Amino acid sequence: MLKWNDILEFAKNGSLAPDTKVIKTEAEWRQQLSEAQFYVTRQAGTEHAFSSNMCSIFEPGRYACVCCGSPLFDAAEKFNSGTGWPSFTQPLLNNAVAYRIDQSLFSTRVETLCNCCDAHLGHVFPDGPAPSGLRYCINAVALQKITTE
């Protein structure tokens, strides 16, 4: 289980290596993604809070990167944070998400990215529920729900 100190270590010194790497040109991403998906995932944008019903969906399954399809989170780790964005306590695998220090918006935060294609997902904060204490605050347009068989 990842804890806040692990996240800070990854953000400062580099994340774990991904299982695969997906590299596409900006034109290829633009062709594949909607305007909102491109803005959030490729330009590090943020969707408006409460703009998706994904926050209120708690059925079993997994959530994958909308860009490359890499599995990122399990619905079992999802919780209602009340923030307006889907929130999780842990990634599916320790190397599914990459981390980097984000000093935009006059504060220091830890940005989360898909470790396979570098898509901006959102941020992680140390104010989540026990036992990890983590809150992965993820843009809904960066995710696609996939079923588990």
User: Catalytic: 116?
Assistant: no
Neighbouring residues of 145: CB distance < 8 A, sequence distance ≥ 6: 54, 57, 61, 62, 63, 64
What separation, in Å, do the N-terminal and C-terminal C-alpha atoms of the chain show? 24
**Residue 13: which H helix or E strand, with range?**
helix 4-13
Here the tokens at position 78 are 């999802």
Pick the closest to residue 139 from 15, 49, 22, 62 (CA basis).
Answer: 49
Q: Of 55, 67, 114, 137, which residue is the catalytic one?
A: 137
Positions annotated as catalytic residues are 137
